[in-house]
Amino acid sequence: MLPTLAVVNDSAVVDKRYKYGRNVKMGDLIVARKPTEPSSLVTKRITGMPGDIILIDPSKNSLQRLNQENLDMQEITPLDNSSYDNYVIVPKGHVWVTGDNLNASLDSRTYSVVPLAMIEGKLVYAWYLTGMLSMFTNSPRKLANTFVEE
């Protein structure tokens, strides 16, 4: 979730009134159970609501092997990304969630839509705390919904 949340030491306030996806909106930060591993919780941003048509990720696999030595651009055969270069309609009662750091995020692009019933709450405040002293140097940040309809 970089750059919204730090990798470690970021504490957050979760509003549980939004449990089971009650009144969640596009662009909200949510905590949800991971569908493929329900014992763990993930923090993601809602990027698709029921009824929306989503283009999964056509850029997937397109930048692989670029850091290889002696790379001949002509020799690159693109890896198969046909399953990612596809459209998905978000079904009723589900949301599409992605991380803010798309390159390093395991999200709906892999495990598909998340049922609203697996949402545990919405993130409202975050506070970067590394020790007792940082309470005075860092102040809590409000996690705003920056979604704009184009």
**Closest by CA position to 44, among listed 26, 22, 63, 62:** 26
Q: Which of 115, 124, 127, 128 binds other proteins (CB under 8 A)?
A: 115
Q: Name 21's Cβ contacts closer than 8 Å, sequence gap at least 6.
A: 30, 95, 116, 117, 119
- 94 makes contact with other proteins (CB under 8 A): yes
- 122 makes contact with other proteins (CB under 8 A): no
Distance, in Å, from the CA atom of 16 to the CA atom of 124, rounded to the nearest integer, reads: 10
Q: Name 11's Cβ contacts closer than 8 Å, sequence gap at least 6.
A: 126, 127, 128, 129
Q: Which of 63, 92, 131, 150 binds other proteins (CB under 8 A)?
A: 92
Residues 85-96, buried b or exposed e (16+ Cβ, 10 A)? eeebebeeebbb
Closer residue to other proteins in complex, CB, 84/111: 111
- 86 makes contact with other proteins (CB under 8 A): no
Under 8 Å between Cβ of 56 and 88: yes
Closer residue to other proteins in complex, CB, 79/117: 117
Binders of other proteins among residues 16 to 35 (CB under 8 A) are 20-21, 33-35
- 116 makes contact with other proteins (CB under 8 A): yes
What is the per-residue binding string for other proteins in 36-65, x denoting contact by CB under 8 A? xxxx--------------------------
- 110 makes contact with other proteins (CB under 8 A): no
